[in-house]
Amino acid sequence: MSSGIMDRIDLPDGGGSILLCDYMPEEVKDGRNLMRVNAGGDIVWKASLPSGSAFPDCFVAARLEGGKLVANTFSGYLVAVDIEDGRPAVLAFTK
């Protein structure tokens, strides 16, 4: 894994991967450090943060649960992220 990639989740059927990147580099200072890439490595989307999250915020963990992408933010949100377009839906505030 690249030093900027903290976690990688390969999607089934060659659908690319979900990457959780380090939140410190300039290109992800907006907190959009969770992204989907296609099999060729091109970025398909960068996940948006939930509308209620405080700035600065970022994603700190991600996983597939029952075929759905679930992620945690630094500010305490548990979100479901749409695998097709990266839009989040808040599931819970955990702090």
Whole-number pLDDT of residue 25: 79
The architecture CATH gives domain 5-93? Beta Barrel (2.40)
Residue 35's identity, in one-letter code, is M
Q: Does this model's pTM top 0.85?
A: yes
Pairwise CA distance, residues 92 & 38, whole Å: 29
Which residue bears the tokens 């970025």?
43
CB atoms within 10 A of CB 12: 7
Cβ 35 vs Cβ 19: under 8 Å:
yes
DSSP string, the chain: --TTEEEEEEPGGG--EEEEE-S-SGGGTTS--EEEE-TTS-EEEEPPPPTT--SS--EEEEEEETTEEEEEETTSEEEEE-TTT--EEEEEE--
Sequence spans of domains, the chain = 5-93
Which pLDDT tens digits describe the chain residue by residue (95 residues)? 555 999 999 998 889 999 999 988 777 778 899 999 999 999 999 999 988 666 689 999 999 999 899 999 999 999 999 999 999 998 999 87
Whole-number pLDDT of residue 28: 72
Whole-number pLDDT of residue 18: 98
